[in-house]
Structure 1
Amino acid sequence: MTAPGLRVRLALISAAAVAVAIAAVSVLAWWATAGTMRGQIDGALTGPPLANRVERTGATVASPELLCRVPRAAVAALFRTDTGGMQLIRADGTSCTLSGSPAVPPTAADIAVAAGGPATRLRNTSTDTGVHVRAITYPVTGGYALMVWRDLTEMDATLRRLALWLLLAGGLGVGVALSAGWIVARTGLRPLDRLTDAAEHVAATRDLQVPIEVRGNDEVARLARAFNRMTAALELARQRQKQMIDDAGHELRTPMTSLRTNIELLVRSEDGARLAPADRRDLLASVSAQVQELSVLAGELTLLTHDEPAVEPVPLRLDEVAARAVRRASRRGRHPVVTDLQPWHVVGDPAALERAVLNLVDNAIKFSPPGSTVTVRLRGGRLDVADEGPGIPEDERGQVFERFWRSPAARALPGSGLGLAIVADVVAGHGGTVEVGSSAAGGATFTVRLPGHH
């Protein structure tokens, strides 16, 4: 069974809420009306005028039996009230009605009043003809009691008509509420329809350039803005991915072509024309270097495509991470690396941070003249890696952290153009910043700032 749609559910919920409210008001109105009408009848039956008159009449009438023989109008004049019906009850349990009124079968409590007990409480009962009445019994004189009652037929009919009208009004109200709820749900969910259409369009066509018009500041507007931001971020990510693939294909084209050419030369040398031993060694060294360059490029591309760190962030000391990176870099070159590392505690991925520092030190060594010094300094969460190389022109500093970007002076040197891009991604992932400037010796200084404490 298919669940009803959101519009139907909202309309049903609104109709149910209105139905509950109408039912509560209807019950309260019926109960208040019934109480008011019953109170008026009870006031007529138990009010001081009637009770006092019954007491005085019982004391002045020679024989209560006379009340059964006089006309109804005379009895009403005697008691100065028209309560509806009267009935004389004897102590032996027999009774007589006044002026031929219907009889109400007396109860033990009524007979006890005739025997000298106090007046009974008001009660609902029925006559011998089935008429619904409200009755009370008063003591008259020794051996007699007077039951006074009032017909409730008119009140019952009025309450039944009121209940019917309340029921009809409630049904009409629920119908109106259901229609209004459907209209409100249809109007209110129209922005969600546009959002749904946009999402289905994206799913069907993969076209992320489908901004939704936003109106107002309600929850639906917030959802639409979030959807627009999401599609914009996805479109940017897709463009960056496409650009990265294009750049990777461009960067791979040259080493792959060179590698294929060298391998073809080696194959031909095995088939016929022999290469000189020195030429063969140079060719094999070139192939090995190209394979190594491809391995480095593949590894760096893998690092850049990972959005999440390989391990959970842990507390660590950045100075110890930098020291390990410096020891690894020192084994790769012939440049002395001077360190001045003060303790600094951060939370992050130790392997990723070590790779970032290693890339900075390797970059400084690669662009430094032989015998020059590379300086690594860490103070107060600021890590500076400075070299004595040619430096980076100011007009190129905004591009050094872009993927595959290489300055014209560095195109002859080995590298993929991804090292500094990895540094920027790692630092940004740890909530820090990285920038490039000039060193005191005229070279380049890369400055990394990471949040932490001493």
Structure 2
Amino acid sequence: MIWSSLRTRLTLLVTIAVALAVAVSAGACFMIVRGQLYDQVDRQLGAPPDKDKRSHVAWLLEHCGPEPRAETYFGPQRSTQLIYADGRPTCYNGPALVVTDLDRAVAMGKPWQHCGNGVTEDGTEMRIRTENVGPGIAVMDAVPLGDLRDTLQMVALTLGGVAALGILAAATAGLLIARAALRPVGRLSRAVEHIARTEDLDTRIPVKGNDEIARLSSSFNAMTTALAGSRERQKQLVADAGHELRTPLTTLRTNIDLLLRSEQTGRSLDPEAKRRLLVNVKAQFAELSTLVADLLQLARGDTEHEPHVELAFHEVVTAAVERARLRGAEVVTDLSPWYVVGSAASLERAVLNLIDNAAKFSPDSQVEVSLKGGELTVRDYGPGLPEEELPHVFERFWRSPSARGLPGSGLGLAIVAQAVEEAEGKVSLANAPGGGAIATIDLPGTLIRNSESDKSR
């Protein structure tokens, strides 16, 4: 449709707004000019400046007659007549004016004067001023309205022409303004269409100024940057996952091929070799299951979040410690109450991953877990890490060269970082004084539950 264009609608709205403003202004100007012209005519009516009422009436009585006249002392177009409240005949000096009840009331002194439009007895429109000039007598002074009406008509035509030109100029200006104002929106629309058509998230929109369009362009650029980063991380995750899955799948395929070949050829494997082969298959299945579970955990965290609620973090840590002990880890704890807002399942998984990681690198020593003032530390007494490797420990699939032979997928600490970030906390890993490593999680929270604090108030 023709009105579906934002530019057209904006032009139309600007034109309508300016047209209304011009029309109101033109109407107001016309009414002001009309009032001024009528006021000027009213001031010209009545007694001349050099005569008072008494001398004016005396002059009129001298020059007025019982019959209307076509010409008067004031000119051929002016008409003056005396009217009486007691019904005496009217005295004329010019064309006869139609006398109304209001004119008779003025002759009686109620009100003292009146200005308005009237007519002569032959139908000529006149501007009449009726003024009381004595007890029971009033003077009706009038001039034709023809010249005034012609002047007002010319003013109306002039204002109408100016208004029409103003509306035309407004429409032109509105179109130019709409084009200039919507040019950045057009660039944004073309960029969006380009991205939708080509999926090219590297497209950027030039940002000029700091108005709403500039902020919208900046937000759009930030959005495409975030989407590009998310897609890049997704590609990297898929590539890393494929690389990590290739090893256990290859091993599983090789072992299963050996078992199938043994059955097909009738050459039985040595029982001990067969047992080791099956144990290896089981271990590879366990490793594969762990890797898939970690990948699902990361994928879930990238796309959705569980509802965050207030929870007792020390209870979450206790539950993770109990699960770690069931897996054979030797853990000592020193926990103080701390309440945070987050997902209990994600935080428990993060704490469990830290304890499992510490137990893996120090199998012959205890793992110390401490929670003080919202800071959770997990300490082991293993070999620690080289300083150059510490910045990479929370990257996905990154594994220390010294830990290549240990079980794991390289995703445990990445899951920890993701869970802590969701809870708006911070996590770090460093070498501990005296040997080993120490992982630290710092979560915002309170010493008492907020609901309990509200009750105490």
1:36 and 2:29 aligned: no
Instruction: Find the aligned partners of 1:214 and 1:62 in 2 and give their Cα distance.
Output: 87
Q: CA 1:118–1:212 in structure 2 vs 1: closer, same or farther (change >3 Å)?
A: closer
Offset of 1:62 from its aligned partner?
7.3
8 Å contact kept, 1:58–1:64: no
8 Å contact kept, 1:212–1:224: yes
8 Å contact kept, 1:208–1:234: yes
Offset of 1:369 from its aligned partner?
3.4
1:329 and 2:347 aligned: no
Q: CA 1:288–1:60 in structure 2 vs 1: closer, same or farther (change >3 Å)?
A: closer
Match of 1:195 among 188, 206, 209: 188
Aligned to 1:287: 281
Q: CA 1:144–1:63 in structure 2 vs 1: closer, same or farther (change >3 Å)?
A: farther
Instruction: Find the aligned partners of 1:410 and 1:135 in 2 and give their Cα distance.
Output: 113
8 Å contact kept, 1:88–1:147: yes
Offset of 1:188 from its aligned partner?
2.2
Instruction: Find the aligned partners of 1:97 and 1:65 in 2 and give their Cα distance.
Output: 5
Scaled by the length of structure 2, what TM-score is found?
A: 0.89
Aligned-partner SS, 2:205: coil
Match of 1:248 among 216, 232, 241: 241
8 Å contact kept, 1:125–1:134: yes
More moved, 241-250 vs 142-151: 142-151
**Per-residue CA distance 1:302-345 (angstroms, 9 max, x = gap):** 11112355531111121111111011011112x42111111111
1:453 and 2:446 aligned: yes
**Per-residue CA distance 1:242-299 (angstroms, 9 max, x = gap):** 1111110000001001111222222233332223333333222222221121111111
8 Å contact kept, 2:116–2:127: yes
Match of 1:226 among 215, 219, 229: 219
Aligned to 1:311: 306
Aligned to 1:20: 20
Question: Residue type matched to 1:278 in 2?
Answer: E
Instruction: Find the aligned partners of 1:6 and 1:168 in 2 and give their Cα distance.
Output: 30
Aligned to 1:387: 380
Instruction: Find the aligned partners of 2:108 and 2:403 in 1 and give their Cα distance.
Output: 127
Offset of 1:355 from its aligned partner?
0.1
Q: CA 1:59–1:419 in structure 2 vs 1: closer, same or farther (change >3 Å)?
A: same
Question: Residue type matched to 2:202 in 1?
Answer: Q
Scaled by the length of structure 1, what TM-score is found?
A: 0.89
More moved, 274-283 vs 380-389: 274-283
Aligned to 1:343: 337
For residues 15-414 of structure 1, the aligned pairs below 5 Å read 15-46=15-46, 49=49, 52-53=52-53, 55-56=54-55, 58=57, 66=65, 68=67, 72-73=71-72, 75-76=73-74, 84-89=78-83, 92=87, 95=90, 97-98=92-93, 101-111=94-104, 121-138=114-131, 146-271=139-264, 272-306=266-300, 307=302, 310-333=305-328, 335-370=329-364, 372-414=365-407
Instruction: Find the aligned partners of 1:380 and 1:113 in 2 and give their Cα distance.
Output: 97
Offset of 1:171 from its aligned partner?
0.8
Instruction: Find the aligned partners of 1:318 and 1:143 in 2 and give their Cα distance.
Output: 104
Aligned-partner SS, 2:445: coil
Instruction: Find the aligned partners of 2:421 and 2:149 in 1 and give their Cα distance.
Output: 82
8 Å contact kept, 1:387–1:441: no
Aligned to 2:412: 419
Aligned-partner SS, 1:398: helix
Instruction: Find the aligned partners of 2:431 and 2:212 in 1 and give their Cα distance.
Output: 50
Offset of 1:68 from its aligned partner?
4.0
8 Å contact kept, 1:59–1:140: no
5+ residue gaps, structure 2: 448-457
Q: CA 1:151–1:341 in structure 2 vs 1: closer, same or farther (change >3 Å)?
A: same
Aligned to 1:429: 422
8 Å contact kept, 2:19–2:166: yes
Instruction: Find the aligned partners of 1:61 and 1:48 in 2 and give their Cα distance.
Output: 12
8 Å contact kept, 1:83–1:148: no
8 Å contact kept, 1:87–1:147: yes
Offset of 1:235 from its aligned partner?
1.3
Instruction: Find the aligned partners of 1:116 and 1:325 in 2 and give their Cα distance.
Output: 106
Question: Residue type matched to 2:310 in 1?
Answer: P
Offset of 1:199 from its aligned partner?
1.3
**Per-residue CA distance 1:386-431 (angstroms, 9 max, x = gap):** 1111111111111111101111111111111000000011111111
Q: CA 1:49–1:444 in structure 2 vs 1: closer, same or farther (change >3 Å)?
A: same
8 Å contact kept, 1:113–1:137: yes
More moved, 385-394 vs 132-141: 132-141
**Per-residue CA distance 1:42-78 (angstroms, 9 max, x = gap):** 122246859844x4454688788746488945x44xx
The size of the alignment, in residue pairs, is: 444
8 Å contact kept, 1:134–1:149: yes
Instruction: Find the aligned partners of 2:60 and 2:220 in 1 and give their Cα distance.
Output: 95
Aligned to 1:9: 9
Instruction: Find the aligned partners of 2:446 and 2:61 in 1 and give their Cα distance.
Output: 112
Aligned-partner SS, 1:338: strand
Q: CA 1:18–1:337 in structure 2 vs 1: closer, same or farther (change >3 Å)?
A: same
Instruction: Find the aligned partners of 1:431 and 1:363 in 2 and give their Cα distance.
Output: 22
Instruction: Find the aligned partners of 2:439 and 2:154 in 1 and give their Cα distance.
Output: 91
